[in-house]
Amino acid sequence: MKWARRAAMVFLAAVFAASLLANYLAPASYAHQFRELPDAPPSSQHWLGTDDLGRDRYSRLLYGTRVSLLLAPAAALLSSLLAAAIGGAAGFLGGWVERCVMAATDLVLSLPWLFLLITVRALLPLNVPPIASVAITFALLGCLGWAAAARVVCADARALRGSGVILLARASGSGGLRLLCRHVVPNLKPVLLAQFWISIPVFILTEANLSILGLGVAEPLPSWGSLLRELENFSTFSAQPWLFAPLILLVATVSCFHLALAKREDWA
């Protein structure tokens, strides 16, 4: 399966590169409305046609990929760091600290995510530019998405606490920050990396769900989620198969992340 992993990595690199070079590759601005050409089919001018407001779909896909692919890893990094701090501390310290932190984690896990996001989003200031709005959305996802990862990290840290490595380190006089930096964190690194890679597609899909509800990225900025809203009317599929482009890209990218993740797990 080595070739599949390599292909996945190449695909992800190509998608990242295309999204970063959107300014050069896109034939038009993602916001420009060609009002004489709403809902146009693919043409040499508009490779994936135009949306219902006449905006070039190909340009929007490139810029939307940039938004989703840059901000989802950032949110994943934030949630993984929170999970490492909270779960790692709880597992390593054990006792009442672990019980309290795990109870709090269970509470966070039991919260209805979607309603919580809708509520928090509604409380935010209104007059923020679209780019800030999308950053806030992903920051919220990152801040609220640590709980499941924290449980995994906590279990690993608990196992590590009683392991020979830590006993030996303690016996040789290591303690406090040195023990944490030299022995605990390096041993938790594989599980943290796995959680990071898993979170990326989860956040991409969550943003897509929020966008389908009209609560994700603000107009006119595109994201994969907002592009997927065009698929709400299932009866148009057969007539306009090019509408599937963002869905195909999303599925391919998420699949490639999973293939890449398998490689990382092998390293662990």
Binding footprint of another protein on the chain (CB under 8 A) = 31-33, 35, 38, 52-54, 118-119, 121-122, 126-130, 133, 213-215, 218-220, 229, 232-236
CB of 262 to another protein, least distance (A): 37
* Other CB atoms within 10 A of residue 148 CB: 18
* Other CB atoms within 10 A of residue 141 CB: 25
Instruction: With beta carbons less than 8 A apart as the criterion, state whether 102 and 260 touch.
Output: no
CB of 122 to another protein, least distance (A): 4
The span from the CA of 88 to the CA of 158, in Å, is: 8
Exposure string over 23-43, b if 16+ CB within 10 A, otherwise e: eeebebebbebbeebeebebe
CB of 45 to another protein, least distance (A): 18
* Residue indicated by tokens 């043409």: 43
- Which of residues 44 and 127 has its CB atom nearest to another protein in the complex? 127
CB of 27 to another protein, least distance (A): 18
CB of 128 to another protein, least distance (A): 7
CB of 33 to another protein, least distance (A): 5
- Which of residues 8 and 243 has its CB atom nearest to another protein in the complex? 243
- Give every CB contact of residue 219 below 8 A, 6+ residues apart in sequence: 130
- Which of residues 229 and 263 has its CB atom nearest to another protein in the complex? 229
- Which of residues 112 and 173 has its CB atom nearest to another protein in the complex? 112
- Give every CB contact of residue 112 below 8 A, 6+ residues apart in sequence: none
The span from the CA of 140 to the CA of 103, in Å, is: 21
- Which of residues 30 and 58 has its CB atom nearest to another protein in the complex? 30
- Which of residues 153 and 227 has its CB atom nearest to another protein in the complex? 227
